[in-house]
Structure 1
């Protein structure tokens, strides 16, 4: 069995790899993301550079699973951002966004490793007491995954932005 890809933080210089994995994400599971593939394809190199920089800020981080020996292949991604602040010093809640594992790496434990690291860093670095996420009501694979990791539906939902006849369910997990 091959070792899992290396999990590391996205750097602003990774913008080309971010673009590649984002386009792959949107092709693979369009219902899981608010952005459309067409909108992502229209972004300029400067916009991708700005996006990568914003995804590695002070109140957020992005974990990537790097399968390339030379750091050239992202096969997974999870972003965590501060959602609410209790005060200027201590965020109360974090939000998990842009979750993806490439098809060839699913079922091997990579998503578990990414999520464990994301929750740990949200708790320790962002001092979040809980982490929330939104998931499309028909994404049964994602719902089962998050439930397995201690997330529960909160009862909150909103119309899904790309198809308002469907719902985006809010799930939450307490962090230690």
Structure 2
């Protein structure tokens, strides 16, 4: 099983490679296009990796190669600051990806378990929210297995507004 760890700012080249792989593999799952990602400069990737390893978010990656030259998975948790100060702090799970050769082997479970732990312990969130395409029954079942429930809320799916993104949430310990 690949080792799960936090993304570091100096992982920008690994981040670029896995992000391009993510966008090529599942273009409808991410708001960014493959062409837009390919046009980014090295400096932009460096800035992106630094931002993704900042204080208000946690980006977990799974080292995929024996020599650490590839990432086989990624999940990012970002803090959502509530409009109402009386509401509990919430985090959102975004940029979920596991490379095809690692799917079905438990890596997604490990990444999600660590993402939930980081959201609660490191970011201080009381709930973790995510959005999933209404037709993605595999993802819905995966998240339900991990204690997420649909909230009844939905929003137009960014890449195809004729479809819905269902909001799921789970409390954090």
| TM-score under structure 2 length normalisation | 0.94
1:46 shift after superposition: 1.2
Counterpart of 1:175 in structure 2 is 172
Aligned length: 171
Please say if 1:56 is aligned against 2:34: no
Map 1:6-85 → 2, pairs under 5 A: 6-85=3-82
SS at match of 1:68: coil
Counterpart of 2:101 in structure 1 is 104
1:144 shift after superposition: 1.3
Identify the match of residue 163 of structure 1 among 152, 160, 164. 160
Q: Check the 8 A contact 1:92/1:128 in 2, yes or no.
A: yes
Question: Could you tell me how far apart the structure 1 residues matched to 2:136 and 2:32 are?
Answer: 16
Q: Deviations over 1:57-114 (max 9, x none)?
A: 0010100000223321100000001012576xx9610100100000100111000000
Q: Check the 8 A contact 1:91/1:127 in 2, yes or no.
A: no
Identify the match of residue 132 of structure 1 among 125, 129, 133. 129
Please say if 1:148 is aligned against 2:145: yes
Unaligned 5+ segments in structure 2 are none
Unaligned 5+ segments in structure 1 are none
**Greater shift in the superposed pair: 99-108 or 34-43:** 34-43
SS at match of 1:71: coil
Query: In angstroms, what is the RMSD of aligned CA positions?
Result: 1.5
Question: Could you tell me how far apart the structure 2 residues matched to 1:58 and 1:156 are?
Answer: 28
Q: Check the 8 A contact 1:31/1:136 in 2, yes or no.
A: no
| TM-score under structure 1 length normalisation | 0.92
Question: Could you tell me how far apart the structure 1 residues matched to 2:158 and 2:93 are?
Answer: 17
